[in-house]
């Protein structure tokens, strides 16, 4: 029984991953291919107070596994605080070259959390996370890459309702698998994700996978 529920939930997550995403323009990205990425504390557009901190724990691995140096998120948050920058809204407004001066970062990734919700209703229950991502070059201030991704676990049927309702009583929902899923969809996706960085074997060899012309030529 447990195995079946799990399979259903996993299938729902996999299915949600297949939505078509328009292909971004990577011209500027490849002109300013960053080696290092600084992730600043996420903006929170939800009422879930814990969302930015929990999200921040999941962002390092997907960026690093694409081959980029990513600055230690916890240390970065504290260094910004030491500079009096405790407000995410203010941090996200800073000119990008400040992050080059302060940290030596090639690019800065701004994340905004747009949804962080668990819904318990009669016939279907769901947990969802949506985040938008914007990578900005710290030399030119130009946006190199951006997008928004959603991850959802949906369930139907009384058994799962019982499970989720009991969750409400006994423990808190762990959003990290959803945040990881959103990050993975955003970063690790040939054609729309982050092209390989300097620590990845594909660095500078995968440009054609991210080129619009190439895609057009194949049609």
Partner 1 sequence: MGLPRFVLGVLGFLSLTGCAGPTLYYWGQYEDSLLVRYRDVSAEGRQRAFAMLERTIAEAEQDGRKVPPGVCADLGYLLYQQNRIPDAISYFRREANAYPESRYLMDSIISRLEPRVRPPQ
Contact positions vs partner 1 (CB under 8 A): 2, 5-6, 9-10, 13-14, 35-36, 53-54, 56-58, 60-61, 64-65, 67-75, 78, 103-104, 106, 127, 153, 163-164, 166-167, 170-171, 173-174, 176-177, 180-181, 184, 199-200
Q: How far is the CB of 25 from partner 1 (least distance, A)?
A: 25
Question: Of 106 and 137, which CB lies nearer to partner 1 in the complex structure?
Answer: 106
Q: Smaller CB distance to partner 1: residue 134 or 200?
A: 200
Nearest-approach distance from CB 120 to partner 1, in angstroms: 11
Q: Which residue, 119 or 214, is less far from partner 1 as judged by CB?
A: 119
CA distances from 4 to 8, 177, 196 (A): 6, 19, 36
Q: In the complex with partner 1, which residue's Cβ is closer, 13 or 211?
A: 13
The dihedral formed by the CA atoms of 164, 167, 169 and 170, expressed in degrees to the nearest 10? 160
Longest Cα–Cα distance of the chain, Å, equals 56
Nearer to partner 1, 39 or 110 (CB): 39
Pair of tokens at residue 97: 């070259």
CB atoms within 10 A of CB 120: 13
As a whole number of angstroms, the distance between CA 142 and CA 41 comes to 20
Nearest-approach distance from CB 141 to partner 1, in angstroms: 19
Integer Cα distance of 106 and 144 in angstroms: 11
Report in angstroms the alpha-carbon separations of 148 from 24, 119, 155: 12, 21, 23
Cβ of residue 121: shortest distance to partner 1, in angstroms?
A: 16
């Amino acid at each position: 029984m447990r195995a079946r529920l799990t399979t259903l939930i996993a299938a729902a997550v996999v299915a949600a991953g297949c939505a078509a995403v328009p292909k971004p323009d990577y011209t500027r990205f490849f002109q300013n291919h960053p080696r290092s990425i600084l992730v600043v504390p996420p903006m929170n557009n939800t009422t879930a107070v814990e969302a930015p901190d929990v999200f921040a724990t999941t962002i390092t691995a997907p960026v690093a596994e694409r081959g980029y140096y990513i600055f230690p998120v916890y240390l970065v948050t504290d260094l910004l605080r030491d500079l009096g920058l405790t407000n995410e809204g203010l941090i996200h407004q800073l000119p990008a070259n400040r992050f080059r001066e302060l940290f030596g970062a090639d690019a800065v990734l701004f994340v905004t959390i747009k949804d962080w919700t668990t819904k318990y209703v009669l016939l279907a229950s769901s947990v969802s996370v949506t985040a938008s991502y914007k990578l900005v070059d710290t030399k030119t201030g130009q946006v190199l890459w951006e997008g928004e991704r959603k991850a959802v676990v949906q369930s139907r049927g009384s058994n799962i309702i019982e499970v989720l309702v009991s969750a409400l009583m006994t423990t808190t929902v762990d959003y990290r698998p959803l945040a990881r899923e959103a990050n993975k969809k955003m970063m690790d996706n040939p054609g729309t994700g982050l092209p390989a960085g300097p620590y990845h074997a594909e660095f500078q060899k995968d440009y054609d996978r991210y080129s619009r012309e190439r895609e057009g030529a194949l049609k």
